[in-house]
Amino acid sequence: MSDDLFSPLELRSGQVLDNRIAKAAMEEGLAGRGQLPDERLPALYRRWGRGGAGLLITGNVMVHAEALTAPGVVVLDRTSPLEPFARWAEAGKAGGAAVWMQINHPGRQMQAEMPGVVWGPSAVGVEAGRHSKRFGRPVAMTQEQIGATVERFATTATRAEEAGFDGVEVHAAHGYLLSQFLSPLANRRTDRWGGPLENRARLLLDVVRAVRAVVSPTFAVAVKLNSADFQRGGFDADEARRVITLLEPLGVDLVELSGGSFESPVMAERWADERTEAREAYFLDLATELVETSPLPLMLTGGISRRETAERALAGGVALVGLGTALAATPDLPDRWRQGREADGRLRMATWSDKLLASAAGLALVRRQLHRLARGSEPALGTHPAYALVTDQLAHVRALRRYRAWLNERRAAEGARSDAA
């Protein structure tokens, strides 16, 4: 086997990653009191940091306290204390890995029961069949709200650097807000934010410009982008190619390729396939095509769990391979590969006909392993997806109760400050 997997990667910011293996973002659901990192996230990332990956990318960190992908996620905004984030960054970097924070806004992909705002480029809800009512009904964002959102991304990036993170990854995939603006299905606007791709990409480009303007030149800025939405008439590989070209002049270090959304949960479909090749490297073919014209290094994420597949991705021109579920099951997998070993097994993912429910169960199963790792236990590979889903829903209810209380306290405090002024 080639040693390319363990060769360093120098980025345009000057940052050097020790090898070509990244721990990809997985939503941990481990926010503590006040939507802040508590002792569990540093413990989890310290463990991954010892596992041999050259880069660790966090799960969703939200830029807007009123818009969360789930009630158990972390918020970093202008009022957040930095000390908990500094402990998180320090723990991940202790083993020599770089640590980047994934920053995100859910837009219309907000659960109906969540408090806060449900925004989108247009008033077009998530179409998920019988599960559609689980999502809030979005309102089209105003120009002022769009501008404030750009500022929020920049603020979160600035504070991430202050806390000691090595970079940020702007999430513009998986049907979240920036992905929604890119999609001609979700974005029906007729102003400067809608219509041709150059307009639909404007919010992403403005966010990247704003972030790069406020962080230091050596701080990495990456973008997570769908290689395709896998929906008829949606964002496709040709548009992904054009967006990558538009990002190149803006100081972006890396583009991570993924795909799908809650409306098209392609990963659940691949997990239902018993063939190993079909499960691994979901987007490898598309990535290989995009590499041919990409002016930026590309990272490929999606089901990779064997060294052979990772090496094949690199041979196809991908600069970095992202491991997600594989590191939930085997946190030291990069070190194992270095030693010529593989994982002992993989998680028992759901293969149900209801793809959205299967996707939710898969995410719950992964979160369950992350919670075990965070408290010092080993992954439980035999956990049944249905059991993981039920226990995850119970945890969701508790987290939602805490988030509601915190958000109400925050609103009251802001109202009091406003009155005093």
Res 276: pLDDT: 44
Res 356: pLDDT: 82
CB 184 within 8 A of CB 199: no
Res 420: pLDDT: 75
Lowest pLDDT segment from 13-17, 209-213, 226-230: 226-230
Higher pLDDT, 234 or 314: 314
- Decide: helix, strand or coil at residue 296: coil
Res 275: pLDDT: 46
302-313 pLDDT, tens digit each:
889 999 999 999
Res 97: pLDDT: 98
Res 149: pLDDT: 98
- pLDDT band of residue 24 (cuts 50, 70, 90) is very high
CB 259 within 8 A of CB 227: yes
Nearest in space to 141 (alpha carbons), one of 124, 164, 122, 117: 122
Mean pLDDT on 255-264: 76
396-418 pLDDT, tens digit each:
999 999 999 999 999 998 888 77
Query: Alpha helix (H) ranges present in 186-319?
Result: 197-200, 202-214, 237-247, 266-271, 276-279, 284-291, 307-315
Higher pLDDT, 129 or 49: 49
Domains in the chain (CATH in brackets) are 4-346 (3.20.20.70)
DSSP-derived secondary structure letter, 160 = H
327-340 pLDDT, tens digit each:
999 999 999 999 99
382-399 pLDDT, tens digit each:
999 999 999 999 999 999
Q: What's the pTM value of the predicted model, to 2 decimals?
A: 0.94
Average of per-residue pLDDT values in the chain:
92
Lowest pLDDT segment from 136-140, 147-151, 165-169, 298-302: 298-302
- pLDDT band of residue 273 (cuts 50, 70, 90) is very low
- pLDDT band of residue 272 (cuts 50, 70, 90) is very low
Return the bridge partners of 257, or none. 225, 300
- Residue 232 burial (10 A CB sphere; 0-12, 13-18, 19+): exposed
- Backbone φ and ψ for 325, nearest 5 degrees, come out as -55, -35
Res 421: pLDDT: 66
| 332, HSE (Cβ side, Cα atoms, 13 Å) | 11
Mean pLDDT on 254-277: 62
Q: Which two tokens stand for residue 292?
A: 């041919």
